[in-house]
Structure 1
Amino acid sequence: MANTYTQIHIQAVFAVQNRISLVHPSWKDELYKYLSSIAAKYDHKVLQINGMPDHIHLMMGFRPTQALSDLMKELKEDSSKWINTRGFVNGKFNWQAGYGAFSYSRDQVPRVIRYIQNQEMHHKKQSFLDEYEELLRIHKIDYDKRYIFKPIEE
């Protein structure tokens, strides 16, 4: 739309269903490229993507031509189908319901990109759940611990 100017930077965080470590190093780069291509299809620009075997961080320049919830649904549904079609995991792959989305100003973007790039090092010191709750606290998002990404109940 003419005369529409935006600068929206979003970090999305989402987890493998039951937080099982299924994203394997042998195909994670392909997955990241696939997720980036889905975002690009809607004119969003992925600035950084990385994660761990049980979750992903995706930093993007977000265009307001699509609802964030619609993009997240498409990212998760399409990538689940893609993973399952390729037989990367035994059984059926799914992302866990829900996600976190955090907005940043332009001057914060380089710091968040570095943070995402260093996920492996970061998670030697902090668990995913602790990291996620910290993001919620930093962004002053009220949450209910019962609905935070949960592992399989034992």
Structure 2
Amino acid sequence: MPQSLARIALHIVFSTKNRAFFLKDLELRSRLHAYVAGILQSINCEPILINGVEDHVHILCNFPRTITVAALMEEVKKSSSKWMKEQGPAHRDFFWQQGYGAFSVSQSNVEQVRAYVATQAEHHRNVSFQDEFRALMPQARDRDG
């Protein structure tokens, strides 16, 4: 085969440091999501959908074959954190939590995950971030429960 091909959908979840509600303002949150999409595009990672609530972000993307998940997340967090701090004095103490969750998504489930990411505000009226993250990681739920 003369070239390398990859089609890997990835669902990434990460939160603000200490899950602080830095992202309450809907307009700011929307601009942050657009900024993150630009970061992804700059590293050849095709964003499918970016959404979230006051304290965390979900990214659904087509993951490039030329970068590691760790390098992708380092670039997203570093660049977006810097951008957030430039949005005014209220955000000078903004930081992302150190960790993240990254989950592969089969092509047959991309639309289901897209719908889930799209409805985050509605979803979090009933489910906390902690419970959501534990549900994404059954082995953590089994260990902690």
Tell whether the structures are fold-level matches, with TM greater than 0.5: yes
Q: CA RMSD in A?
A: 1.9
- Closer, same or farther in 2 for the Cα pair 1:102/1:87, shift >3 Å? same
Indicate the residue corresponding to 1:69 in structure 2. 70
Q: Which moved more, 1:90-99 or 1:45-54?
A: 90-99
Aligned to 1:151: none
What is the DSSP-based 3-state SS (H/G/I as helix, E as strand, rest coil) of the residue aligned with 2:137?
helix
Q: Which residue pairs with 1:7 in the alignment?
A: 7
Amino acid at match of 2:115: R
The answer to whether the aligner puts 1:96 opposite 2:93 as a matched pair is: no
Deviations 1:105-131 (A, max 9, x none): 101000000000000111111111000
1:85 aligns with 2:94: no
Whether the 8 Å CA contact 2:12–2:100 is kept in 1: the answer is: yes
Contact 1:83 1:89 in 2 (8 A): no
* Cα gap change, 1:2 to 1:43, in 2 (>3 Å): farther
Structure 1: stretches of 5+ with no match in the other structure? 146-154
Higher helix fraction: Structure 1 or Structure 2? 2
Larger CA deviation: 31-40 vs 89-98: 89-98
TM-score with structure 1 setting the length: 0.86
Gaps of 5+ in 2: none
User: Number of paired residues?
Assistant: 143
What stretches of structure 1 move > 4 A for 4+ residues in a row? 140-145
Q: Kindly tell me: are residues 73 and 143 of structure 1, through their superposed partners in 2, closer, same or farther at Cα, counting changes over 3 Å?
A: farther
Q: Helix, strand or coil: the match of 1:86?
A: coil
Q: How does 1:3-152 map to 2 (within 5 A)?
A: 3-23=3-23, 24-87=25-88, 89-137=90-138, 140=139
**TM-aligned CA deviation for residue 89 of structure 1:** 2.7
Q: Distance in 1 between matches of 2:27 and 2:89?
A: 9
The one-character-per-residue Cα deviations of 1:83-121 (angstroms, maximum 9, x if unpaired) are 101216344110010100000110100000000000011
